Amino acid sequence: MRAVILNGAFAGDETCAAIEMELATALAGVGCEVECLRLRELAIAYCKGCFGCWVKTPGVCPTRDDAASVTRSFVRSDLAVLVTPVVFGGYSSELKKALDRSAGIVLPFFTRINGEVHHQRRYQRYPALLAVGVVDRADQAEERTFETLVARNAINFHAPAHRVEFVRRDDAIETRRTIVARAVAGMTRPMRGAA
Amino acid sequence: MTRDRMVLLVGSAKAAGRSTSEALARYLAGRFEGGGASVTILPVNRSRRAAEDERLLAAIDTADLFMLVTPLYVDSLPYLVTRSLEITAARRERRPNQRFAALVNCGFPEAEQCRTALAILECFARHTGFIWAGGLALGGGPSIDGRPLERLGGMTRHVRAALDQAADALMRGEPIPTSAVAQLARPMMPASLYTAVANVGWRWQASRNRVHRRLKEQPYKSVVSSH
């Protein structure tokens, strides 16, 4: 099994750094090959909305930078893990920058999923999606928005499964580790059963 | 009498004159100016230079209404918009009675798919001390394709009517009425027609770029996991 962790933390975010390490350890512990990508350290330009990944260089963004390796890792994984501070109920700008550049993983053509229009698959398989959102304090509205966002992304990324976990910055280390372990077990158990 | 100051931020990364978001913002700006407001339209900071961030912060600082007009990217806000909101939240000088409103447009025919982005923007308003003046959503945005709304005839009649209603309410200091939200959310054409035209359009663009036989390529297939 392959897992990629996309860490959308800002500089100095020790909680996200710890979560990344604990996720990597837990995933390796269940036999995953893990790749960690700290997005702020990568050279990723923003998406210009040119649709070149659909109609000029199909499946590949015409802007050549580190986004290609992120997309490649995403597509080749069984599990994609998003680690991010929860920003107004959404992703950090660092994570968003990388995800915006991933439009090429689907086709431009439309299809219907549960009665709603979405883009067709480009590939046969896509990774399951686990999002770990870091919050400063409990905020139900933000957490519901974040959960909805991940669910919507799971549809558009054709993820076979998705899950959201929240970690508060003031959580004790053991609490955080329990959350991470629960998330990893929940996402990988079905995969290991199917293997 | 003091004129209301409106600041519109266009969230598209496309060049000036090319985006649906800008066309929508310019229409709203025209309504606001016609109502006697002073309007500033700013593009999102594509250069990411500090001076442009300062320009946005300075404009917001004196605004009665700050309104974001943005495309939907991957179910939420584009990176440049998210970045601008993060900076605004971190650095703006809070002033009482400042309002924030938003208009999100997407390439899916269903305006409903913009809902999560609007929820994020409402959270932003709450976190930053703005009064949330409401959010509008438009599906089928590429049908507008940067063109002035007035030139698009019957296709955008209900869009213009909805924006007129929203602008009038905002100029009165009221939130965007639900009737305007519902009117704007009406599709510009049936979803089946929209998707059929879009699918033809993608093939046509690909043909112009001589890649129409490669549209479904899987460049990363060789390393796709076999779970």
Percent of chain B clearing pLDDT 70 (strictly above): 96
Q: What is the pLDDT of residues B163-188, one digit of tens each?
A: 999 999 999 999 999 999 999 999 98
Lookup: tokens for B138: 């438009």
Contact B108 A118 (CB under 8 A): yes
Q: Is the pLDDT of residue B223 over 60?
A: no
Asked if A120 contacts B218 with a C-beta cutoff of 8 angstroms, the reply is no
Q: Searching chain A, which residue's CA lies closest to the CA of residue B13? A: A48
H/E stretch holding A129 reads: strand A128-135
Contact A122 B218 (CB under 8 A): yes
- Rounded to a whole number of angstroms, the distance from the CA of B119 to the nearest CA of chain A is 6
Average pLDDT, chain B: 94
- Rounded to a whole number of angstroms, the distance from the CA of B214 to the nearest CA of chain A is 7
Report the pLDDT value the prediction gives residue B1, as an integer from 0 to 100: 52
Q: Does A126 touch chain B (CB under 8 A)?
A: no
What ipTM score was computed for the predicted complex, to two decimals? 0.96
Q: Searching chain A, which residue's CA lies closest to the CA of residue B140? A: A117
Rounded to 10 degrees, what is the CA torsion of A99, B192, B218, A69? -10
d(CA B181, CA B168): 13
Report the pLDDT value the prediction gives residue B3, as an integer from 0 to 100: 80
Lookup: tokens for B83: 């970045």
Residue of B71, B79, B123 lying closest to A93 (CB–CB): B79
d(CA A105, CA A108): 10
Q: What is the pLDDT of residues B116-151, one digit of tens each?
A: 999 999 999 999 999 999 999 999 999 998 999 999
Contact A88 B19 (CB under 8 A): no
Q: Read out DSSP for A86-111? A: -BTTB--HHHHHHHHTTGGGEEEEEE
Q: Is the pLDDT of residue B225 over 60?
A: no
Q: Searching chain B, which residue's CA lies closest to the CA of residue A45? A: B79
Q: What is the pLDDT of residues B185-211, one digit of tens each?
A: 999 889 999 999 999 999 999 999 999
Global confidence as pTM? 0.96
A-B contacts (CB, under 8 Å): 165
Q: Read out DSSP for chain B? A: -PPPEEEEEE---SPTT--HHHHHHHHHHHHHHHTT-EEEEEE--SS--HHHHHHHHHHHHT-SEEEEEEE-BTTB--HHHHHHHHHHHHHPPP-TT-EEEEEEE-SSS-GGGGHHHHHHHHHHHHHHTPEEEEEEEES-GGGTTT--GGGGGGGGHHHHHHHHHHHHHHHTTPPPPHHHHHHHHS-SS-HHHHHHHHHHHHHHHHHHTT-TTSTT--TTGGG----
Three-state secondary structure call for residue A155: helix
Residue stretches of chain A with pLDDT short of 50: none
Percent of chain B clearing pLDDT 90 (strictly above): 91
Asked if B84 contacts B45 with a C-beta cutoff of 8 angstroms, the reply is yes
Report the pLDDT value the prediction gives residue A194, as an integer from 0 to 100: 59
Report the pLDDT value the prediction gives residue B226, as an integer from 0 to 100: 47
Which residues in chain A have Cβ-Cβ distances shorter than 8 Å to B216? 58, 107, 122
Interface residue of B116, B128, B132 to substitute, partner A, most A CBs within 10 Å: B116
Asked if A84 contacts A131 with a C-beta cutoff of 8 angstroms, the reply is yes
Phi, psi of B21 (to 5 degrees): -60, -40
Asked if A167 contacts A133 with a C-beta cutoff of 8 angstroms, the reply is yes
d(CA A167, CA B152): 48
Report the pLDDT value the prediction gives residue A191, as an integer from 0 to 100: 76
Asked if B202 contacts B142 with a C-beta cutoff of 8 angstroms, the reply is no
> Which residues of A, range 11-40, sit inside 8 Å of B by Cβ?
none
Q: Does A125 touch chain B (CB under 8 A)?
A: yes
Q: What is the pLDDT of residues A36-91, one digit of tens each?
A: 999 999 999 999 999 999 999 999 999 999 999 999 999 999 999 999 999 999 99
